[in-house]
Homo-oligomer: A and B are copies of this chain.
Amino acid sequence: MVANRGYASTSAATRLKLIEAASDMLDEEGHPAFTVRRIAARAGVKPQLVHYYFRSMEDLVVTVFQRSSATYFRLHDEALSGPRPLHALWHLNCNLPEARRVMEYVALAKIYPRLREAMRETGENFRAIQVDLIERISAERGLVDAPMTAPALSALLSALARAMLIEGNVGMEEGHEGLRAFVEATLKIYEPD
């Protein structure tokens, strides 16, 4: 009584299942769980299928990362088109699972050089977009007493969000509330209510 031999699922479907399983794995168990067998088990397929769809683990992790980035990009784009783009961006950085996952990618980047390269590239892209936005806002408002340069503000927003996520992971919370208040106050310079 062999179970399911009518290959109902297409290539794309199984491939996607693997990518999603890997993604969820990173969210819920972190980089140590990023292994062929555990990901396959979570996707409900045999481990060898991972290498059927991806040449190597490096291939898989890069693919997963790019999917993360694509999702993030959509939301990022959406957020930046809204009425208070910087506030929306800050909210994104703090709350999105794609942002939380970054720390796992950082850990995996030590093992997979091509992931590191991909992270640098997309990181720089996002920063460039944000710098453009901030400079545009500054120009529109005629901000001469901005507390920092546009690249610095972009870096600050992701740095603080990320650092708070890291510390939160370890169980530290002190100073976070004050930090959020500081960011809100800073953003108010660019985007008053």
Give the B-binding residues of A (Cβ under 8 A).
Answer: 30-32, 103, 106-107, 109-111, 116-117, 119-120, 123-124, 127-128, 131, 147-156, 158-160, 162-164, 166-167, 169-172, 174-179, 181-182, 185
Contacts and interface: CB of A to CB of B under 8 A. Distances in A.
Nearest to A117: B171
Number of copies: 2
Contacts of A175: 127, 131, 149, 151-156
A156 B182 contact: yes
A18 B149 CA distance: 45
B182 A127 contact: no
Given A175-B127, A181-B149, A119 B170 contact: yes
B110 A148 contact: no
Contact of A160 (B30, B151, B159): B159
B152 A178 contact: yes
A147 B179 contact: no
B127 A172 contact: yes
A148 B127 CA distance: 25
A182 B109 CA distance: 29
B159 A163 contact: yes
A147 B172 CA distance: 22
A170 B120 contact: yes
Contacts of A153: 175, 178
Contact of A120 (B149, B151, B171, B179): B171
Closest 4 CB pairs of A and B: A152-B178, A155-B175, A159-B163, A151-B175
